[in-house]
Amino acid sequence: MSRSPEASKEIALTTAFGAPVVDNQNSLTAGPRGPLLMQDVWLIEKLANLNREIIPERRMHAKGSGAFGTFTVTHDITRFTRAKLFSAVGKKTEMFARFTTVAGERGAADAERDIRGFALKFYTEEGNWDLVGNNTPVFFLRDPRKFPDLNKAVKRDPRTNMRSATHNWDFWTLLPEALHQVTIVMSDRGIPASYRHMHGFGSHTYSFINAQNERFWVKFHFRTQQGIRNLTDAEASTLVGGDRESHQRDLYDAIEGGDFPRWTLYVQVMPEADAQKVPYHPFDLTKVWPKKDYPLIEVGVMELDRNPENFFADVEQSAFAPNNLVPGIGVSPDKVLQARLFAYSDAQRYRLGVNHHQIPVNAARCPVHSNHRDGAMRVDGNYGGTLHYEPNSFGQWQEQPDHREPPLGLRGDADFWNFREDDADYYKQPGDLFRLMAPAQQQALFENTARAMGDAPEFIKRRHIGNCAKADPAYGAGVARALGL
């Protein structure tokens, strides 16, 4: 903004409480060389505010880019769900998206080999629906107990403060169910060229409930209309040398230039009873559902057309949580999803505060009447004098039983069930993925893996070769060759 000598009243500098600031260049001192005076309230306010401008970064997915847009329904799926956002072809719902890398900190470079977060917030008339997914259809693990360890393994070494190939690969190779996700991350899709050039997935199995109160299991797929584009390791390292914010720049510039990125939403839908019949675990986050069994059904288009006016306000303060669900869209027994229903809002109460639902980017755009009160930074009137207990004799805070989902049959004894004994099939799907790759893609997978394993000790490399060989002997042999073992 240019500085005009005829500064208007609106841009005149004031304190946070509106008093005019007389001098913003010189501190108030006793004489020109003298010590400061405590009564320089503007200096004190400036220094104090600076100390509080920083908030904790997200524990993972700290580096990201966001944009606003719209979701438009193009195909009718009301036979599967009563969710209002899907209620009619042509219906539009306002939304906000945030894309991220995962392991890097808030200042990390964008073009890193890593999975990408794909978090979406739909402002529906029955509350916010957050789909907090990734650019891959599967994940490293299928029991949330291992998630904190995953983070410790991929983040920095506590002594050297550097990323550690040893920790990373020691952990991954001891978790054979990680091989599917590891194969994707090490493949030619492991470094997307930009956030616009990648697909997004809900990854977990969720549920749809229709107007007849029937349940279906569902997986969400957002397919990029920009086409898939990726970087090789060499291209990425050259790019990072010149531009650490390549993803942010690409998304921001495309939207500023009117080239609005779009993704087509498809769903895979499984009738509730099929979950007992399919030969794989339908709620296992390390597995995909074969498209030949459950084909993609087209639903609509998401378009991002507006950059946030202020990055901190809308992107840094955005809060996505898988527990933000709306009638017609529910969860599944997937244990990782179940843990995430707790983890996100808990993180956000710490990162942003208990009233983070009032921050404009997070606020629902439908009436909210939640019966929570008070807490730090309550700024919405706090329900005024409305009585605040329920049940009461005055009709306040009525529950909405019409939205009840059908009962979900569950059985089983409580125990620390070892998922690995139930299903030791860690290798079929990574093997299938490997066999789908063209020879050049397989070669890229071998070489990316070898570079990423770097200085990890030989016994860890051999363990990985063994896991790959179980998926496909040619996978193991190719990685061994690339590692020179």
98 counts as binding ligand HEM under rule CB under 6 A: yes
Q: For ligand HEM, which stretch binds (CB under 6 A), given 346-354, 387-395, 400-408, 422-430? A: 346-354
CB of 145 to ligand HEM, least distance (A): 8
203 binds ligand HEM (CB under 6 A): yes
- Residue 357 interacting with ligand HEM (CB under 6 A): no
Q: Which is nearer to ligand HEM, 59 or 403 (CB)?
A: 59
Cα–Cα distance, 304 to 270 (Å, whole number): 29
**Residue 348 lies near ligand HEM (rule: CB under 6 A):** yes
Tell which one of 81, 124, 134, 183 touches ligand HEM (CB under 6 A).
Answer: 134
Can residue 139 be called a binding residue for ligand HEM (CB under 6 A)? yes
**133 lies in the binding site for ligand HEM (CB under 6 A):** yes
Only one of the segments 2-10, 297-305, 318-326, 358-366 lies at the binding site for ligand HEM (rule: CB under 6 A); that segment is: 318-326
Q: Which stretch binds ligand HEM (CB under 6 A): 6-14, 71-79, 129-137, 297-305?
A: 129-137
Query: Which residue in the set 336, 433, 444, 465 belongs to the binding site for ligand HEM (CB under 6 A)?
Result: 336
Mind telling me the catalytic residues?
61, 134
Phi, psi of 264, deg, nearest 5: -95, 130
**Segment contacting ligand HEM by CB under 6 A, of 317-325, 380-388, 400-408, 463-471:** 317-325
Query: Should residue 155 be labelled a site residue for ligand HEM when binding is judged by CB under 6 A?
Result: no
Footprint on residues 208-237 left by ligand HEM (CB under 6 A): none
Q: Least separation, in Å, of the C-beta of 133 and ligand HEM? A: 5
CB nearer to ligand HEM: give 113 or 462.
113
Tell the smallest beta-carbon distance from residue 138 to ligand HEM (Å): 9
- If the CB atoms of residues 284 and 472 are measured against ligand HEM, the closer one turns out to be 284
Q: Point out which residues bind ligand HEM (CB under 6 A).
A: 58-61, 64, 98, 100, 117, 119, 132-134, 139, 144, 147, 203, 318-320, 336, 339-340, 343-344, 347-348, 351
